[in-house]
Amino acid sequence: MSIARIIKKTIRRYYFSSLDYQPEQLSPAQIDTVVIYQPDAVGDAMSLFPVLRSLERSSIKRIVLVLSPRSVDVFKHFQPANMAVDIHVAPHRFELTNKKIKQIARQLRQRYGRPDLCIEGTRRNKTATAIFVGHLRARCNLGVNGSTMRCYSRLNQRAQALSDENTALPLVWTRLMEDFGFPTPASRNFEFLVTQETEQEMGTALSGVDRYAVLNLDGSDERRRFSTKKGLQIAEALHDSTGLPIFIVFGPGGETKANQIASRLDYVHTLHQPPSLQRTAGLVKHASLVVTPDTSVLHMASAFNIPVIAIYEIYRPHWRPLSDKYSIIDMKGPIEAMEIEQLRRELDNRFV
């Protein structure tokens, strides 16, 4: 290790120690207010639902969620009858400055007093999370980020071991809650709550369509995105193998590609309404099959137990499908390089 890295690690360790403190040894019965820190992506937020389902079955009185703008849609319809749920929107963790993190933690202290429990939901042992935890100063903290700060409960050890072994994240969060003494959640899976309004909207949009496939072509970065040309080939292979009509779902920036494919293949469709996570989840919920890169659409398929073919740039078991029926294509590089015959084999062997 270079001298520069040794110095950097020493400074970081000293700074973390200045934020650290001795936590209280609490049981769930002593906890009224829980802060969950999760200013991250949609999939990360969906993986946390076992935490909320466990808290929902406990006697706590308030959950305070610190979320990125994108992940608000995952939780905004979570409205348990027996407790308050407050959402505080923060910039995505990539955009959060240390100053802003301190400000958020202090605002929460001013509004709620000292929280009983903070659950650090990003799983990242970074300066940003240490700053949040250190300035919020909850009576106790839970997390699986590998931190050695003493303010974290040591009841996380079995969950941390699962995380280190790349166990699927909803199962890691389930173990963490159980080991702390909270009730076992009813669901140990990703979740996305589809509203009744969306269900009605999808019923109208899908009128006369009994079975269909959902195709998503875009992940969060270029290495996890398919081109229009490859998207056409995937749609053709999917229809050839299954005979199903196909609905393409897309996020910001994906509309032109989806419409180009739909205009060339009469069995490919898009919704006429503006894209949203709610509408995407509504389509996925009732699909017969989903084909998608590793992104939130994959976790929606898991949430609704829909058969899925998951195409990974690099396979990460943390994010494996949790559907009963699934197939994994691990490209170990940009997904655009996928051979269509590889997809055809998966479709013919597993899903036809």
Residue 218 near residue 254 (C-beta atoms within 8 A): yes
Predicted local confidence at residue 84, as pLDDT: 97
- Residue 108: half-sphere exposure toward Cβ, Cα within 13 Å: 33
User: How far from 141 is each of 26, 118, 131, 148, CA to CA, in Å?
Assistant: 10, 5, 13, 12
Residue with tokens 């959950």, as numbered in its chain: 63
pLDDT at 209: 94
Burial class (CB in 10 A: 0-12, 13-18, 19+), 100: middle
Q: What is the pLDDT along the chain (352 residues), one digit of tens a residue?
A: 677 666 566 666 767 788 999 999 999 999 999 999 999 999 999 999 999 999 999 999 999 999 999 899 999 999 999 999 999 999 998 898 999 999 999 999 999 999 999 999 999 888 889 999 999 999 999 999 999 899 999 999 999 999 999 999 999 999 999 999 999 999 999 999 999 999 999 999 999 899 999 999 999 889 999 999 999 999 999 999 999 999 999 988 899 999 999 999 999 999 988 999 999 999 999 999 999 999 999 999 999 999 999 999 999 999 999 999 999 999 999 999 999 999 999 999 877 6
Residue whose tokens read 């292979």: 237
Which contacts of 242-245 are long-range, i.e. CB under 8 A and separated by 24 or more positions? Answer: 242/213, 242/288, 242/289, 242/347, 242/351, 242/352, 244/211, 244/212, 244/213, 244/288, 244/289, 245/209, 245/212, 245/213, 245/269
What is the per-residue pLDDT for 98?
A: 92
Q: What are phi and psi of 225, to 5 degrees?
A: -130, 140
In this prediction, residue 280 carries a pLDDT of: 97
Which of 350, 279, 341 is CA-nearest to residue 309?
350
234 vs 141, 271, 301, CA distance in Å?
A: 46, 19, 18
The amino acid at 282: G
Question: Edge-to-edge strands of the sheet including 33-38?
Answer: 84-89, 62-67, 33-38, 117-120, 140-143
Cα separation, 266 vs 195, whole angstroms: 30
Q: Residue 4 has what pLDDT?
A: 66
Distance, in Å, from the CA atom of 82 to the CA atom of 313, rounded to the nearest integer, reads 42
Write out pLDDT tens, residues 108-154.
Answer: 999 999 999 999 999 988 888 999 999 999 999 999 999 989 999 99
Distance separating alpha carbons of residues 73 and 70, to the nearest angstrom: 7
Supply the pLDDT for residue 171.
97
Token pair of 67 as six digits: 């979320």
pLDDT for residue 351: 77
Rg (CA), the chain: 22
